[in-house]
A and B are shown apart, each in its own frame.
Chain A
Amino acid sequence: MAGGAHRGTGIACPKDAMHPSGCGIGLRAPHVAEILDRRPPIGWLEVHAENYMGGGPAARALERLRADYPLSIHGVGLSLGSADGIDGRHLERLAALVERLQPALVSEHLSWSVAGGAYLNHLLPLPYTDEALDVLCANITRAQERLGRRLLVENPSGYLRFRDTSIPEPQFLNALARRTGCGLLCDVNNVYVTCSNLGGDAAAWIDALDAGSVAEIHLAGHAVNDADGRTILIDDHGSPVAEPVWGLFGHALRRFGATPTLIEWDTDVPALDVLLTEAATATRRLVKAGDVVAA
């Protein structure tokens, strides 16, 4: 199964035993009791920050799990791309959560969701312009200063392009990393979905990303839908990782080296074992990449 197998292969070589390595899974409510009960070997766990900002049973369960598994906190609500700036109250709550849980990784998205005080529950697209770059850099810097640590910033899945866009997405991410010191979270499924929806070569997208900044990879399934009679891929995290995305993952590992990788599943969440099987597949590829890097 996942975890275990990759230990001792030299992947990621964490100084801290609780640093993510190998393949983790996104922790979802239906699996919490079973993981607490079985404690299956899982490389690490990632949770959505916004689901743990209150108290109660969910927060208590996570306190117990973080003792046994390396933890990553993945924010979906900071709205790093908002021209209005980020919401100071939300940043404070995120900082309190990070302080309490001391995760190994904290990540957010290259997107926005807040305008005029309304939170639009989605990772909304940005025009990749110099103006947007300045906004992102200011917001990321503010967040990193408050959190006292490096953020990882994830590429979103795209369904449209703005006419004003003048910087290719991977170069835009590279510029964020260069200017703010943030790391990058490369969602390989999102790369595939975006390139399919907007036109573009997914392997070339990966090749353009600054490999030294990539600290985490995401994998998930997508749905194949229809818009205006054309195929459009929807990043719904509701199925196994698609075959071409596994292929692109292999390409990403050759380029980035063995990088902590997460399986995400949010819609029609399956039995835990289905996720663990996906994680085991990713782990085999990570081990192979680790051997190649080690050789």
Chain B
Amino acid sequence: MSSLRELQAGFRAAILGDDGAGVAAAVVDDDIGASARLAIYRHHVFASLTAALEATYPVVTRLVDRRFFGWAADRYVRARPPAGPCLAEYGGDFPAFLAQFPACAHLPWLADVARLEWAMNVALHAPDAATLEPIALQALEPRALARLTLRFEPSLTLIHSAWPIDAIWRANQPASDGVVDLGAGAARLEVRRLGDDVVFRTLPSGAFAFRAALAGGRSLEDAVERALDAEPGFDLAREIRALLEERVLAA
């Protein structure tokens, strides 16, 4: 008699791998065979997780078509099953998986589109957080200000792609025709939740470099240096005002 732990390990192998023999021996085999009964469970696990991934990645699903997506999802689920039961949190490394997936090698922008969709999913479910009051920065000495590190509110993600992933995303909304100019160049996007809506917008290269540096934990001084490298005309005063007015900084 196997212990419950062994039985569950065997069941896991039967669901995620191809090794159903061990657990099948523990299952009553009658007019419906043990393997057919186990297949009911396996089918539900894969169908429900594929549906969860489709819900998070609707544009990727449309770009590769549902059958291909289902196959990619099947490979992904086997390699990276969820670590927890909140399905909105499942699939964060699906973009990295797609980037390495040989069958998608001819779609070099696909993984970046997936990164955009993941950022939108994160924004939708991010906790509501208090944002920094403008007054908080006014009290600081210039020297302290330069060394300051700032955090963004938790719904915000910055994404840089060599591909026009914003245009690809828009062209693949339900009512759109899917036509897009892949030569349109790089995208520097800020994704966040505003009220109940998830939005993204393009940032100028200086502002993007500045915010990306801050998001990476660099000091204000370092971030300014990077912004000026990216865009010599970067206007720091205006950008600080924008950060506070847009309420993107966490309190």
Task: Tell me the complex Cα distance, A121–B84, Å.
Answer: 9
Q: Do A122 and B48 touch across chains, with their CB atoms under 8 A apart?
A: yes
Q: Do A118 and B34 touch across chains, with their CB atoms under 8 A apart?
A: no
Chain B residue at minimal CB-CB distance from A199 = B30
- Given A77-B85, A228-B33; A163-B27 close (CB under 8 Å): yes
Q: Of the listed stretches A48-56, A142-150, A176-184, name the one at the interface; the rest are far from the partner chain.
A: A48-56
Q: Do B82 and A119 touch across chains, with their CB atoms under 8 A apart?
A: yes
Task: Tell me the complex Cα distance, A131–B6, Å.
Answer: 12
**Chain B hits for A127, CB < 8 A:** 4, 7, 26
- Given A54-B127, A164-B26, A234-B40; A135-B85 close (CB under 8 Å): no
**Chain B hits for A164, CB < 8 A:** 1, 26
**Chain A hits for B129, CB < 8 A:** 55
Q: Do B193 and A159 touch across chains, with their CB atoms under 8 A apart?
A: no
Q: Do B5 and A227 touch across chains, with their CB atoms under 8 A apart?
A: no
Interface presence of B15 (CB below 8 A): yes
**Chain A hits for B4, CB < 8 A:** 83, 126-127, 129, 131-132, 135
Interface size classification for chain A:
35 or more
- Given A56-B124, A83-B3, A127-B4; A122-B27 close (CB under 8 Å): no
**Chain B hits for A232, CB < 8 A:** 32, 40
- Given A56-B126, A124-B11, A228-B31; A76-B196 close (CB under 8 Å): no
Q: Which of A110-156 contact B (CB under 8 A)?
A: 112-113, 115-122, 124-127, 129, 131-132, 135
**Chain A hits for B81, CB < 8 A:** 118-120
**Chain A hits for B21, CB < 8 A:** none
- Given A115-B11, A127-B26, A227-B36; A50-B86 close (CB under 8 Å): yes
**Chain A hits for B88, CB < 8 A:** 51, 54
Of the candidates B8, B31, B34, B82, the one whose C-beta lies within 8 Å of that of A160 is B34
Chain B residue at minimal CB-CB distance from A84 = B5
Task: Tell me the complex Cα distance, A79–B82, Å.
Answer: 14
**Chain A hits for B243, CB < 8 A:** none
Q: Which of A44-80 contact B (CB under 8 A)?
A: 50-51, 53-60, 76-79
Q: Which of B72-123 contact A (CB under 8 A)?
A: 81-89
Task: Tell me the complex Cα distance, A98–B38, Å.
Answer: 34
Number of interface residues of B (CB under 8 A): 47
**Chain A hits for B155, CB < 8 A:** 56
**Chain A hits for B15, CB < 8 A:** 120
Task: Tell me the complex Cα distance, A150–B189, Å.
Answer: 47
**Chain A hits for B52, CB < 8 A:** 121
B41-73 to A contact mask, C-beta < 8 Å, 1/0? 100110011001000000000000000000000
Interface presence of B201 (CB below 8 A): no
Of the candidates B3, B5, B36, B82, the one whose C-beta lies within 8 Å of that of A228 is B36
Of the candidates A77, A90, A159, the one whose C-beta lies within 8 Å of that of B40 is A159
Q: Do B48 and A121 touch across chains, with their CB atoms under 8 A apart?
A: yes
Q: Do B32 and A87 touch across chains, with their CB atoms under 8 A apart?
A: no
Chain A residue at minimal CB-CB distance from B84 = A119
Interface presence of A38 (CB below 8 A): no
Q: Do A124 and B41 touch across chains, with their CB atoms under 8 A apart?
A: yes
Task: Tell me the complex Cα distance, A39–B6, Å.
Answer: 49
Chain B min CB distance to A134 (Å): 9
Of the candidates B1, B38, B193, the one whose C-beta lies within 8 Å of that of A56 is B193
- Given A56-B124, A56-B126, A77-B86; A115-B28 close (CB under 8 Å): no
**Chain A hits for B186, CB < 8 A:** none
Q: Do B125 and A54 touch across chains, with their CB atoms under 8 A apart?
A: yes
Chain A min CB distance to B47 (Å): 9
- 28 A-B pairs whose Cβ atoms sit less than 8 Å apart in the complex: A54-B86, A54-B125, A55-B126, A55-B129, A56-B124, A56-B196, A60-B196, A76-B85, A83-B3, A83-B4, A83-B7, A83-B8, A119-B84, A120-B12, A120-B16, A121-B52, A121-B82, A121-B85, A122-B41, A124-B41, A127-B7, A129-B4, A160-B27, A163-B28, A227-B37, A227-B40, A230-B31, A232-B40
Query: Which chain B residues have a beta carbon within 8 Å of chain A's beta carbons?
Result: 1, 3-5, 7-9, 11-12, 15-16, 26-28, 31-34, 36-41, 44-45, 48-49, 52, 81-89, 124-129, 155, 193, 196
- 8 nearest interchain CB pairs? A77-B85, A54-B125, A55-B127, A160-B37, A83-B5, A57-B196, A118-B81, A83-B4
